[in-house]
Amino acid sequence: MILIDLFLSFFKIGMVAFGGGYGALSLIQNEVIDVREWLSLSDFLPLISVAEMTPGPIAINTATFVGYQVSGVLGSVAATIGVTLPSVFWIFFLLKLIDWLSRWVQTDHLFGALKTAIVALILAATLRIGIGSVRDGFTILLAAGTFFWLYRFKPSVVWVILATGGAGMIWKTFISLWE
Protein backbone atom coordinates (compact mmCIF):
# COMPACT_ATOMS: atom_id res chain seq x y z
CA MET A 1 0.00 0.00 0.00
CA ILE A 2 2.87 2.39 0.74
CA LEU A 3 4.15 1.99 -2.84
CA ILE A 4 0.76 3.01 -4.22
CA ASP A 5 0.65 5.96 -1.79
CA LEU A 6 4.13 7.04 -2.90
CA PHE A 7 3.18 6.77 -6.56
CA LEU A 8 -0.10 8.66 -6.15
CA SER A 9 1.42 11.38 -3.95
CA PHE A 10 4.20 12.09 -6.39
CA PHE A 11 1.87 11.73 -9.38
CA LYS A 12 -0.31 14.45 -7.83
CA ILE A 13 2.77 16.64 -7.30
CA GLY A 14 3.88 16.03 -10.89
CA MET A 15 0.46 17.04 -12.19
CA VAL A 16 0.50 20.47 -10.54
CA ALA A 17 4.21 21.31 -10.19
CA PHE A 18 4.84 23.89 -12.88
CA GLY A 19 8.11 25.76 -13.08
CA GLY A 20 10.49 22.88 -12.70
CA GLY A 21 11.89 21.18 -9.66
CA TYR A 22 12.32 24.26 -7.50
CA GLY A 23 8.64 25.01 -7.93
CA ALA A 24 7.85 21.45 -6.89
CA LEU A 25 9.95 21.51 -3.72
CA SER A 26 7.33 23.24 -1.59
CA LEU A 27 4.71 20.79 -2.83
CA ILE A 28 6.98 17.82 -2.08
CA GLN A 29 7.81 19.21 1.34
CA ASN A 30 4.14 19.74 2.16
CA GLU A 31 3.13 16.24 1.02
CA VAL A 32 6.05 14.36 2.58
CA ILE A 33 6.31 16.22 5.90
CA ASP A 34 2.93 17.81 6.65
CA VAL A 35 0.33 15.60 4.94
CA ARG A 36 1.83 12.09 4.92
CA GLU A 37 4.34 12.57 7.76
CA TRP A 38 6.78 10.20 6.09
CA LEU A 39 9.79 12.33 7.03
CA SER A 40 10.61 15.11 9.46
CA LEU A 41 12.03 18.43 8.30
CA SER A 42 15.42 17.47 9.73
CA ASP A 43 15.36 14.27 7.61
CA PHE A 44 14.07 16.09 4.53
CA LEU A 45 16.64 18.91 4.35
CA PRO A 46 19.68 16.64 3.73
CA LEU A 47 17.73 14.91 0.95
CA ILE A 48 17.28 18.30 -0.75
CA SER A 49 21.02 18.93 -0.49
CA VAL A 50 21.85 15.57 -2.03
CA ALA A 51 19.16 16.00 -4.71
CA GLU A 52 20.64 19.40 -5.60
CA MET A 53 24.17 18.01 -5.92
CA THR A 54 23.15 14.92 -7.88
CA PRO A 55 22.99 15.28 -11.68
CA GLY A 56 19.46 15.51 -13.03
CA PRO A 57 16.26 17.38 -12.28
CA ILE A 58 15.87 18.21 -8.58
CA ALA A 59 12.21 17.14 -8.39
CA ILE A 60 13.00 13.71 -9.80
CA ASN A 61 16.07 13.32 -7.57
CA THR A 62 14.07 14.39 -4.52
CA ALA A 63 11.27 11.96 -5.37
CA THR A 64 13.80 9.17 -5.79
CA PHE A 65 15.51 9.89 -2.47
CA VAL A 66 12.24 10.33 -0.56
CA GLY A 67 10.88 7.11 -2.05
CA TYR A 68 14.03 5.29 -1.00
CA GLN A 69 13.86 6.68 2.55
CA VAL A 70 10.21 5.67 2.87
CA SER A 71 10.23 2.25 1.20
CA GLY A 72 13.62 1.29 -0.23
CA VAL A 73 14.37 0.67 -3.89
CA LEU A 74 10.77 -0.07 -4.85
CA GLY A 75 9.70 3.13 -3.11
CA SER A 76 12.20 5.13 -5.12
CA VAL A 77 10.93 3.57 -8.36
CA ALA A 78 7.28 4.28 -7.44
CA ALA A 79 7.97 7.90 -6.47
CA THR A 80 10.17 8.56 -9.51
CA ILE A 81 7.64 7.15 -11.97
CA GLY A 82 4.88 9.02 -10.15
CA VAL A 83 6.58 12.41 -10.45
CA THR A 84 7.72 11.96 -14.09
CA LEU A 85 4.66 10.39 -15.70
CA PRO A 86 2.46 13.52 -15.54
CA SER A 87 5.06 15.44 -17.57
CA VAL A 88 4.40 13.19 -20.54
CA PHE A 89 0.67 13.87 -20.33
CA TRP A 90 1.17 17.61 -19.82
CA ILE A 91 3.49 17.96 -22.80
CA PHE A 92 1.01 16.41 -25.21
CA PHE A 93 -1.97 18.23 -23.67
CA LEU A 94 -0.29 21.66 -23.60
CA LEU A 95 1.04 21.37 -27.14
CA LYS A 96 -2.47 20.66 -28.41
CA LEU A 97 -3.96 23.40 -26.23
CA ILE A 98 -1.42 26.03 -27.30
CA ASP A 99 -1.90 25.10 -30.94
CA TRP A 100 -5.67 25.49 -30.53
CA LEU A 101 -5.46 28.72 -28.47
CA SER A 102 -2.97 30.40 -30.80
CA ARG A 103 -5.73 30.64 -33.39
CA TRP A 104 -7.72 33.08 -31.22
CA VAL A 105 -5.47 34.41 -28.44
CA GLN A 106 -1.95 35.73 -28.17
CA THR A 107 -0.17 33.09 -26.13
CA ASP A 108 2.27 35.71 -24.73
CA HIS A 109 -0.33 36.67 -22.11
CA LEU A 110 -0.78 33.04 -21.08
CA PHE A 111 2.96 32.55 -20.62
CA GLY A 112 3.24 35.82 -18.70
CA ALA A 113 0.65 34.60 -16.19
CA LEU A 114 2.38 31.23 -15.89
CA LYS A 115 5.73 32.92 -15.21
CA THR A 116 4.18 34.84 -12.32
CA ALA A 117 2.78 31.66 -10.78
CA ILE A 118 6.12 29.89 -11.22
CA VAL A 119 8.00 32.68 -9.43
CA ALA A 120 5.51 32.44 -6.54
CA LEU A 121 6.06 28.66 -6.27
CA ILE A 122 9.84 29.05 -6.27
CA LEU A 123 9.67 31.83 -3.68
CA ALA A 124 7.42 29.70 -1.45
CA ALA A 125 9.84 26.77 -1.66
CA THR A 126 12.77 29.05 -0.90
CA LEU A 127 11.11 30.52 2.16
CA ARG A 128 9.85 27.21 3.57
CA ILE A 129 13.12 25.37 3.11
CA GLY A 130 15.25 28.41 3.98
CA ILE A 131 13.46 29.05 7.27
CA GLY A 132 13.88 25.40 8.24
CA SER A 133 17.59 25.50 7.35
CA VAL A 134 18.56 28.58 9.34
CA ARG A 135 19.45 27.43 12.84
CA ASP A 136 22.01 29.92 14.16
CA GLY A 137 23.91 33.12 13.43
CA PHE A 138 26.45 31.34 11.25
CA THR A 139 23.80 29.96 8.88
CA ILE A 140 22.14 33.39 8.65
CA LEU A 141 25.50 34.95 7.77
CA LEU A 142 26.31 32.16 5.33
CA ALA A 143 22.90 32.48 3.64
CA ALA A 144 23.21 36.26 3.33
CA GLY A 145 26.77 36.02 2.02
CA THR A 146 25.84 33.32 -0.47
CA PHE A 147 22.86 35.35 -1.69
CA PHE A 148 25.09 38.39 -2.22
CA TRP A 149 27.73 36.26 -3.98
CA LEU A 150 25.12 34.71 -6.29
CA TYR A 151 23.41 38.02 -7.01
CA ARG A 152 26.56 40.08 -7.57
CA PHE A 153 28.97 37.67 -9.25
CA LYS A 154 26.72 34.90 -10.69
CA PRO A 155 29.18 32.04 -10.06
CA SER A 156 28.64 28.47 -11.15
CA VAL A 157 26.39 26.52 -8.81
CA VAL A 158 29.19 23.98 -8.41
CA TRP A 159 31.41 26.63 -6.79
CA VAL A 160 28.60 27.78 -4.53
CA ILE A 161 27.94 24.24 -3.30
CA LEU A 162 31.64 23.53 -2.77
CA ALA A 163 32.26 26.85 -1.00
CA THR A 164 29.25 26.68 1.33
CA GLY A 165 29.88 23.01 2.10
CA GLY A 166 33.51 23.79 2.86
CA ALA A 167 32.52 26.77 5.03
CA GLY A 168 30.11 24.55 6.94
CA MET A 169 32.77 21.91 7.55
CA ILE A 170 35.30 24.51 8.67
CA TRP A 171 32.75 26.13 10.99
CA LYS A 172 31.74 22.78 12.49
CA THR A 173 35.40 21.86 13.05
CA PHE A 174 36.06 25.26 14.62
CA ILE A 175 33.06 24.93 16.94
CA SER A 176 33.98 21.37 17.96
CA LEU A 177 37.48 22.55 18.96
CA TRP A 178 35.97 25.09 21.37
CA GLU A 179 33.62 22.60 23.02
Q: What is the pLDDT of residues 75-128, one digit of tens each?
A: 999 999 999 999 889 888 888 888 888 888 777 777 788 888 888 888 887 888
Taking each helix axis as running N to C, give the angle between helix 58-101 and helix 107-133, from 0 to 180 degrees, rounded to the nearest 10: 160
Average pLDDT over residues 8-22: 86
Q: What is the pLDDT of residues 126-139, one digit of tens each?
A: 888 888 788 888 98
18 pLDDT above the threshold of 80: no
Give the contacts of 101 (CB within 8 A, at least 6 positions apart): 107, 110
Q: What is the pLDDT of residues 28-62, one digit of tens each?
A: 999 999 999 999 988 998 888 888 888 888 899 99
22 pLDDT above the threshold of 90: no
* Single pTM value for the model: 0.61
Q: What is the largest CA-CA distance in the chain?
A: 69
Taking each helix axis as running N to C, give the angle between helix 41-53 and helix 21-29, from 0 to 180 degrees, rounded to the nearest 10: 160
